[in-house]
Structure 1
Amino acid sequence: MNGASREALAAARERLDALTDNTSVSAVALADELAAVTALLDREVSLRRVLTDPAQSADGKAELVARVLGGQVGGESADLISGMVRSRWSQSRDLVDALEELANIADLTAAQRSGALDDVEDELFRFGRILTSNTELRAALSSKSATGAAKGELLRSLLGGRAQEATVRLVGRLVSQPRGRSLEAGLLDLSGLAAERRDRTVAVVTSAVPLSDQQKQRLGGVLARLYGREMHLNLDVDPEVLGGIRVQVGDEIINGSIADRIEDANRRMAG
């Protein structure tokens, strides 16, 4: 998002945080309602264009929200969405993206309240690795011919009873409403939101053999000093690394493996 949309999303996130700071507000209910409105506006292009049209009055757009959603969502969700349509959005689709992000944050907040956020973060990462290695599963969950209900049932058979409820809900929405993204990209976005919820940055660490607890603590400390904030390590083992480690933080890759050094040397000799 750029410009006005980024500011509008930041304001909406602040309002959501204020709502969920009150433990009497159900974060799960908020997530469900925001997700339902996301699906509605994703389908109804003309409606979302009206709700983001800068030529329309802010009050008029808020009144339209009240008419469309009246009785369909709770007061907290209605107030939050009314505030969002009063804001200025650079593109109409940005409003839908923002609503989806708020729904995911609400589910992560519920996980944080129950002390399950660490588990959810790890489960999202592990499921992403499973999809990467299992092309048949990825194809089944990404199939355009299968209904969202069928894909959701498959997902529940895989994760039900084996993962946190928030993980099942988050991945389930991604599978049933991918909105043009790959599952891997969607899972990466969810992992980033989970890490941000804990005010941490995710570092994907790939090593030839599992790291010891002491090595993980040392690496986490080094990365925290390097990036100026606490790091959460998502650990992956790949024998092809040969030795050392490879660390990826966002788009930045820190190559420390023998395989990378060999590849780099080969490129230099070839050049």
Structure 2
Amino acid sequence: MAGVSSESLSAALADLETTLPTASLSLARELFGIVGVLDGSAGLRRALTDPSREGSEKSALVHSLLDGKASADAVEITAKLAASRWADARDVSDALETLASTVAIAVAEQGAGTASGLSGLEKLQNDLFAFNHAVEESHELQNALTEQQASPEAKRSLALRLVPQASEEAKLLIGQAAAAPRGLKPAKLIERFAALAAGRQKRWIADVAVARPLTGSQAERLQTGLNRLYGRELKMNTTVDPLLVGGLRVTVGDEVLDASTVSRLGELRRQLASQAR
């Protein structure tokens, strides 16, 4: 996906962030179900991606089809996608699949108890990798999961028997990949899901470059400051770069804080400086 479709997907993912903190696995299931509806109707996909139609018209079409049949959140997410611009009719289905899997990944991220945040995402990835490892080890399983005569539900059932200890979020993604790989081999779609989870993991990791090694108290204060800044318990990885301008650079996900972002890093640098005296 590239060009205008990539821009529309990026905007949709950014908009989805407001929904993710309270999202449930049922929302991901609904969105995957709507992907199936779109995949089953080339005419509907063309109508929702027709560049000659106004976004509001395409959004209204989604509401007319789905209102009362899916949750308000699922309908609104789909309607906003339809209102965007797409280079190819299939792109809207691909984008909705990405949003659905992102919801499932975010639910794993929310987690409960010890399996939340970074650990929740790591467990999800491990479960996905466990499925792919089992499939890679058996040509019989590979053939069964791609058998054209087998029903989607039969493939889903077979896939889930391979990972009985997997989380509910992983089971949803694995079942979806087996039942509706959408032109891919199930293992390849699982790799895509795992890559999305890895991208979300980066939000929990702070890669910190410093001009000189931090003392124990400096590292502790920096950790506290970053946790407060981002509102979550980050894993901090520190490296020393003597040539670093400004003395400190922090990368969390796609965001880089360096000497140019004085307003955000100023307090952190002052905290470190006070410890160095």
- TM-score where L is the length of structure 1: 0.71
| Structure 1 residue 157: Cα displacement | 2.4
Matching residue's letter, 1:27: S
**Residue in 1 aligned with 2:102?**
105
Q: Once the two structures are superposed, what CA deviation does each residue of 1:50-76 show, in whole Å capped at 9, x if it has no partner?
A: 010010111111111111011111111
Change (3 A) 1:230 1:142: farther
**For residue 70 of structure 1, what is the amino acid of its counterpart?**
D
Per the TM alignment, residue 40 of structure 1 is displaced from its structure 2 partner at its CA by 0.3
**What does residue range 152-231 of structure 1 map to in structure 2 within 5 Å?**
152-160=156-164, 162-199=165-202
Matched with 1:136 is 140
The code of the aligned residue for 2:5 comes to S
1:68 aligns with 2:65: yes
2:149 matched to 1:145?
yes
- Alpha-carbon distance, 1:230 to partner: 8.3
CA root-mean-square deviation: 2.3
**Aligned partners of 1:182 and 1:222: how far apart in 2?**
39
State the distance in 2 between where 1:184 and 1:63 align: 36
Distance 1:72 1:199 in 2: 36
Select the structure of larger CA radius of gyration: 2
Match of 2:8 in 1: 8
The 8 Å contact of residues 160 and 171 in structure 2, kept in 1 or not, is answered as yes
The match for 1:127 is 131
The one of 68, 74, 78 aligned to 2:75: 78
SS in structure 1 at match of 2:17: helix
Shift of 1:229: 6.5
| Counterpart AA for 1:71 | G
Q: Secondary structure at the match of 2:45?
A: helix
Q: CA deviation at 1:195?
A: 0.3
Q: What 5-or-longer segments of structure 1 have no aligned partner?
A: 201-220, 232-271
**Counterpart residue type for residue 146 of structure 1:** A
Give the count of matched residue pairs: 206
Please report the TM-score for the alignment, with normalisation by the length of structure 2.
Answer: 0.69
Quick one: structure 1 residues 169 and 86, their matched pair in 2 at CA, closer, same or farther if it must change by over 3 Å? Answer: same
SS at match of 1:159: coil
Verify the 8 A CA contact 2:131 2:162 in the aligned structure 1. no
Cα distance in 2 for partners of 1:194, 1:57 equals 34
AA paired with 2:108? Answer: A
For residue 17 of structure 1, what is the amino acid of its counterpart? E
